[in-house]
Chain A
Amino acid sequence: MNSHAAEMVRAPVRPSTAPSALPRLAVDGVSKRWGRRRSLLVLDDVDVELGASQLVAIVGENGAGKTTFLRILSGLICPDRGTVRVDGLDPERNRREYQRRIGFLAAASTGLYARLNVRDHIDFWARIALVPPERRAVRCLETMAVFDLLEIASRRVDRISMGQRQRLRLAMAFLHEPNLLLLDEPYNSLDGRSAALLASALRASRSRGGTAVVCYALGQEPTGDLAFDTTYILQDGRLRQT
């Protein structure tokens, strides 16, 4: 990390939204079925409530519905039944404010433009995430520094490694300082050092009130120095605390 970037990282981050009696995340009776005849019940009346500064893991076997659940929480897809609220906001009625509060990392390695470089991605996301212009440059530098992307900032995405791509995708999830991070299999392709960077970024987010939900497959416990407040297991469409 160069000295300028280090200085940027030390700069105070934007305070979280004012303390509120509302839960950070409130999921009430969410159900979702897939399949041609909606025969496959993936989520069955799921309830969960999380406060600020919580770090939560959701584990489950492949196909258990973790990705579906995170996609519903992110507002990408709608549940068949039930409601989701983030800081009391509805993903449809308060779409823009809702999305300002969400940082989403999709599973797999998609969502990047092969012909753009790392800096282009970060800048692009900062703009469509509507980060205020006076904070944009600082936030871009801070986030690239946090995920150790400064050295590869000018390299095209199709010319960097899978682990570097994953760090870039993580940086885009954290960039706009969301209140709720939804990370689907974030440890994919990350080495030990990168996992430690992620753990550090999650701790920093928590220190300013951010809550994070991290999904990973059973038996693939994350590496890195990170302790979850709560771990849930998703099985047979139900979410239960371990």
Chain B
Amino acid sequence: MCKEFTCIVCPVSCTLNVSKEGEEIIVKGNNCKRGKVFGENEYKSPKRILTTTVKVEESCHKALPVISSDEIPKEKMFECVEQLYKMTVKAPIKKGEIIIKNILNTGVDIVASRSLKQI
């Protein structure tokens, strides 16, 4: 089966045609190596970086921005977000501080993407 994707690695935004012949995944339409890797992953199991916020107390802001330390399987996005919305953290927070380790057993951590002082 041939699938069509837009490569999101860089702004050229190549249209990729990805198919499987036997065990081999064939990527067509890419202009670079990174596009080939993206096409293969997108065919096997699409992954994305997750950025969202969690509630924070004792800070001048009400939300702490967080980012995943690596890409997370696309179908687990909403489940991850749900888990993050249930929690509340307290300032002070340092950028890079782990908020949830190994979220949903993906092997990926959720970390703070900024520092927040305590008030």
**Are A and B genuine complex partners?**
no
| B residues in contact (CB < 8 Å) with A | none
Give residues in A with beta carbon < 8 Å to B: none
